[in-house]
């Protein structure tokens, strides 16, 4: 860890205060993708900051976990394409890959699964937290609170400088997240909590905890299990997105790992990020019929209207989001196998077709993202809409954890402390209350 510079670049700067000058900076080479200008000594040596709100051109860290080529629509985890992982792997194998760097051998697969299933239960006192929420609380609100509350329960996994404790915290988070999510759902519908069943696979156990009731036997539909497994894989990690960067920034102060993941969940909730899957479904329902698509595209183009086409556009992808491509292909298969009608899927495909012919979307390279088709599949699986982003959080937990571990084990990590372009008042005299 800790890239070293191999070349130097000259940057010509015209500064009204100091005039013209050339600043020479180190250039760091990536193993793939753009090189990075190392500006770490810029302020100390040259007295200026860089300005990049929204981090559109800033690498906030170095990482060996996930690679995205947004122009080509490529997503790799540890070098493997997301398409191959989604179709040939299991979610737990992808978790292992993200955390450990390699796909597990058979022995490692068994060992890893054992580690995870032995942490699926929650401390019983945590269930009391749920009862403090209003019945109509959004499950994401419950997720933020309960995951944060884990920090008050698992004191033997809080020392982030101890690799064993870091590993234990990681296992706990990956293992407990489905339990926490399913309990949030059960609480919202007034049904009893269902304990995890460790003989079941990760996705199947989640469905079991969400949909089984004590009075009846429950066997998850294998089509739903596979579909959920695939959705979990597709959402497992995505490089330095808003929620992952939130986790990294929060933990840069060496904060409690569970609290840092809770911060990531809070960031994910927003409609510009993981909340978009819920928003896509609401939007499709509002559009209703194909003949209303042009009206909504016009709203999306109108700069005076805050409406955006949800599930469209991405900061990094300027091509088809490869996760959306897998989901689109998968959507028909899942809906047909579950015997569901497809009007929403047909509407979504038509919306995509018309939008991709529209100069506004073409010029801005706005394509469907992962959230565009996932909601349609989840709805066909009878997952309630309020749980869509929760499932994203369950899936993304491993990404947050892997990135947090990578960062915490790097001795060169510094506290995240951005600077600013100050635009406020210059020093002035205090004005007494009677003179204001």
State the residues that interact with ligand CMC by CB under 6 A: 241, 272-274, 276, 300, 308-315, 364, 366, 369-371
Any idea which residues carry the catalytic annotation?
314, 371
In the complex with ligand CMC, the residue whose CB is nearer, 204 or 371, is 371
- Cβ atoms of 62 and 413 closer than 8 Å: no
Q: Which residues of 120-136 are buried (b: 16+ CB within 10 A; e: fewer)?
A: bebeeebeebbeebeee
Instruction: Give the Å distances, CA to CA, from 396 to 50, 213, 235, 279.
Output: 30, 27, 6, 18
Of 197, 21, 55, the C-alpha closest to 121 is 197
CA-based radius of gyration for the chain: 24
- Cβ atoms of 45 and 64 closer than 8 Å: no
Tell me how far, at minimum, the Cβ of 67 lies from ligand CMC, in Å. Answer: 16
Instruction: Give the Å distances, CA to CA, from 214 to 192, 195, 382.
Output: 8, 10, 20
Tell me how far, at minimum, the Cβ of 181 lies from ligand CMC, in Å. Answer: 17
In the complex with ligand CMC, the residue whose CB is nearer, 276 or 381, is 276
Tell me how far, at minimum, the Cβ of 368 lies from ligand CMC, in Å. Answer: 9
In the complex with ligand CMC, the residue whose CB is nearer, 266 or 370, is 370
Helix, strand, coil share of the chain (percent; to 5): 55, 10, 40
Distance between CA 319 and CA 362 in Å, rounded?
A: 10
Tell me how far, at minimum, the Cβ of 335 lies from ligand CMC, in Å. Answer: 21
In the complex with ligand CMC, the residue whose CB is nearer, 34 or 47, is 34
Distance between CA 169 and CA 395 in Å, rounded?
A: 16
Which contiguous run of DSSP H or E holds residue 6?
strand 5-15
Distance between CA 349 and CA 328 in Å, rounded?
A: 9
Distance between CA 217 and CA 215 in Å, rounded?
A: 7
In the complex with ligand CMC, the residue whose CB is nearer, 116 or 393, is 393
Which contiguous run of DSSP H or E holds residue 10?
strand 5-15
* DSSP annotation string for 233-279: HHTS--SS-HHHHHHHHHHTTT--HHHHHHHHHHHHTSTTTTTHHHH
Which contiguous run of DSSP H or E holds residue 5?
strand 5-15
In the complex with ligand CMC, the residue whose CB is nearer, 25 or 140, is 140
Of 154, 67, 85, 96, the C-alpha closest to 398 is 96
Neighbours of 103 (CB within 10 A): 17
Instruction: Give the Å distances, CA to CA, from 156 to 147, 149, 172, 271.
Output: 16, 15, 11, 35
In the complex with ligand CMC, the residue whose CB is nearer, 178 or 313, is 313
Tell me how far, at minimum, the Cβ of 141 lies from ligand CMC, in Å. Answer: 18
């Amino acid at each position: 860890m800790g890239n070293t510079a191999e070349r130097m670049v000259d940057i010509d700067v015209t500064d009204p205060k100091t005039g013209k000058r050339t600043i020479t900076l180190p250039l760091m080479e990536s193993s793939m993708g753009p090189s990075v200008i190392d500006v770490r000594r810029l302020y100390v040596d040259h007295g200026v900051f860089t300005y990049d709100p929204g981090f559109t051109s800033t690498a906030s860290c170095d990482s060996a976990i996930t690679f995205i080529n947004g122009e080509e629509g490529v997503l790799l985890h540890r070098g493997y394409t997301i398409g191959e992982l989604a179709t040939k792997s299991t979610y737990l194998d992808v978790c292992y890959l993200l955390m450990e760097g390699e796909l597990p051998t058979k022995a490692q697969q068994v060992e890893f699964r054992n580690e995870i299933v032995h942490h699926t239960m929650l401390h019983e006192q945590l269930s009391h937290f749920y009862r403090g929420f209003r019945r109509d609380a959004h499950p994401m609100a419950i997720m933020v609170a309960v995951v944060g509350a884990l920090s008050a329960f698992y004191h033997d996994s809080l020392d982030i400088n101890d690799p064993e404790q870091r590993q234990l915290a990681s296992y706990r988070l990956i293992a407990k997240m489905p339990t926490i999510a399913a309990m949030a759902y059960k609480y919202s519908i007034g049904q009893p909590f269902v304990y995890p069943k460790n003989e079941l696979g990760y996705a199947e156990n989640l469905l079991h905890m969400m949909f089984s009731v004590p009075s009846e036997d429950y066997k998850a539909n294998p089509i739903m299990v596979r579909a959920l497994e695939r959705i979990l894989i597709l959402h497992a990690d995505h490089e330095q997105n808003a929620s992952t960067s939130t986790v990294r920034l929060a933990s840069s102060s060496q904060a409690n790992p569970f609290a840092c993941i809770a911060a990531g969940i809070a960031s994910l909730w927003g409609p510009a990020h993981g909340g978009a899957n819920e928003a896509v479904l609401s939007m499709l329902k509002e559009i209703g019929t194909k003949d209303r698509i042009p009206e909504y595209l016009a709203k999306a183009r109108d700069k005076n209207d805050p409406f955006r086409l949800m599930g469209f556009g991405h900061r990094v992808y300027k091509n088809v989001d490869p996760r959306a491509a897998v989901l689109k292909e998968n959507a028909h298969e899942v809906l047909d196998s579950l015997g569901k009608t497809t009007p929403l899927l047909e509407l979504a495909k038509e919306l995509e077709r018309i939008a991709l012919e529209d100069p506004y979307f073409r010029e801005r390279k706005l394509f469907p993202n992962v959230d565009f088709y996932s909601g349609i599949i989840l709805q066909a699986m009878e997952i309630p809409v309020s749980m869509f982003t929760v499932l994203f959080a369950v899936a993304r937990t491993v990404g947050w954890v892997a990135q947090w571990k990578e960062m915490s084990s790097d001795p060169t990590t510094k506290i995240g402390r951005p600077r600013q372009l100050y635009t406020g008042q210059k020093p002035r005299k205090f004005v007494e209350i009677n003179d204001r």
